[in-house]
Amino acid sequence: MHRSNQSLRFAMSLAAVLAGLGAWTMTVHAQAPATPGQPTHQHTESDDHDVDDADGRQILTETDHDHVHDHGPASESSFGRLINWLGKLHPMAVHFPIALLIAAAVAELLGMFTGRLWFSEATVLMVWFATITAVSAALLGWIFGGFRWGDEDWLMTSHRWVGTVTAAWSLVVLALLVQGQRRKVAFSAYRAALFTGAALVGATGFLGGAMVWGLDHLAW
């Protein structure tokens, strides 16, 4: 029982740390330039400083030379660039929770029907890693897609929020697993939550694929 309490405290601490990291990253990302590389100066008709030489060719004045340099990438901190780069890892990171949650559900089913303990032991390990990777992938997804409530594309909005719910649900699965190791009633709830989580992560993966390949990407 003491070991289960330690695992539960660790799971709660992990959730708190990841939530704090997400809030901190959201603040940093909001302060970063929205579109790096956007020109820092808008030209107007009065900014036409081109001068024709004797042959009718246009030459750049000194002011135009300055304008060329003004159109470089907007300044951005190294940390902001690192955060934006980490967001690009989202398409790769999502494969881990998808595989782990579904594999955990399959292993749990095999353990239920065969009675072999090592299936359940494998499930425990997969649920832990699935939770860590699901929350991490969701955080990277928010960085990659931007911190906003909705998007113009309904598929993007659906993927965003189903993925977020899946990450939060994985924490519920982990908490119920830890509780279920000492109480039979909680273990039954854990199994139901695990199978629900496998369905949620499958739906999230489907929506992510539909954003790239279309809704019929799994058509027969």
* 130-146 pLDDT, tens digit each: 999 999 999 999 999 99
DSSP alpha helices (H): ranges in 40-183?
Answer: 62-70, 78-87, 90-93, 95-114, 117-145, 154-180
Is 42 contained in some domain?
no
Is 61 contained in some domain?
no
**Max avg pLDDT among 15-19, 33-37, 43-47, 173-177:** 173-177
Q: What pLDDT is attached to residue 76?
A: 66
Nearest Cα residue to 128 out of 36, 11, 6: 11
- Is pLDDT of 94 > 60? yes
Q: Which domain holds residue 90?
A: 7-29+75-213
Q: What pLDDT is attached to residue 20?
A: 57
Is 131 contained in some domain?
yes
- Is pLDDT of 23 > 70? no
Is 191 contained in some domain?
yes
Name the residue with higher pLDDT: 80 or 66.
Answer: 80
Backbone angles phi, psi at 2, to 5 degrees: -60, -40
Nearest Cα residue to 84 out of 34, 39, 17: 34
Structure confidence at residue 183 as a pLDDT band (50, 70, 90) = confident
Least confident among 6-10, 81-85, 129-133, 170-174: 6-10
The angle at the Cα of 146, spanning 144 to 149, to the nearest 5 degrees, equals 135
Q: What pLDDT is attached to residue 13?
A: 60
Least confident among 32-46, 130-144, 186-200: 32-46
- Is pLDDT of 155 > 50? yes
Structure confidence at residue 3 as a pLDDT band (50, 70, 90) = low
Q: What pLDDT is attached to residue 18?
A: 55
pTM: 0.67
Structural domains counted in the chain: 1
Structure confidence at residue 187 as a pLDDT band (50, 70, 90) = confident
Is 99 contained in some domain?
yes
- Please write the tens of the pLDDT for every residue from 99-124: 999 999 999 999 999 989 899 899 99
Q: Rounded to whole angstroms, how far apart are CA atoms 1 and 5? A: 6
Name the residue with higher pLDDT: 48 or 68.
Answer: 48
Is 116 contained in some domain?
yes
Structure confidence at residue 181 as a pLDDT band (50, 70, 90) = confident
Residues contacting residue 200 through CB under 8 Å, at least 6 positions apart: 162, 165, 166, 169
- Is pLDDT of 89 > 50? yes
Is 137 contained in some domain?
yes
Q: For 12, what's the count of Cα atoms within 13 Å in the CB-facing half-sphere?
A: 9
Structure confidence at residue 210 as a pLDDT band (50, 70, 90) = very high
Is 40 contained in some domain?
no
Integer-rounded Cα Rg, in Å, for the chain is 25
